[in-house]
Amino acid sequence: METKLKRNIAVQVIKDHNIASIEVDYSGGGDDGCLDDTRYEDINGKKVDVKLNGEVEAEWDDLLYNMLSENIEWDWINNDGGYGQMIIDCTKTPWKVNINHTQRVCEDHYYDDIEFSTDDKQHFF
């Protein structure tokens, strides 16, 4: 089945369930990124279990993953990576997407050539 057709089927299933909001938790680091959890809520605020089958589910996940990668300015997958939540408002046309992202950053500092005298009266006597 063609990629666009699979994506269209996924969107149609979401519309058929009257989904108002999609929340996607994601995380990445160490050369890997993943969608940790995807939740769907209908127009009445009720959580809905949306079933997408096989290739359609895989293509939908790829689309969500790509939306993150294309819109986060940091490299959320490599090194220390990042994590967050993408919220999609399906009641708008076009759908409104917000990403709340936290980037992990590690800084290294090296301090060399420090001398410490045990004879220094300021510190010991």
Higher pLDDT, 102 or 121: 102
Give the domains, in start order, of the chain with CATH numbers. Answer: 3-104 (3.30.500)
Tell me the per-residue pLDDT of 76-118, one tens digit each, with 9 for 90 and over.
888 889 999 999 999 999 999 999 999 998 888 899 988 888 8
pLDDT band, residue 125 (cuts 50/70/90): low
Mean pLDDT of 58-66: 94
Higher pLDDT, 122 or 44: 44
86, HSE (Cβ side, Cα atoms, 13 Å) = 25
Concatenated DSSP letters for 88-116?
EETTSSSPEEEEEEEE-------------
pLDDT of residue 100: 97
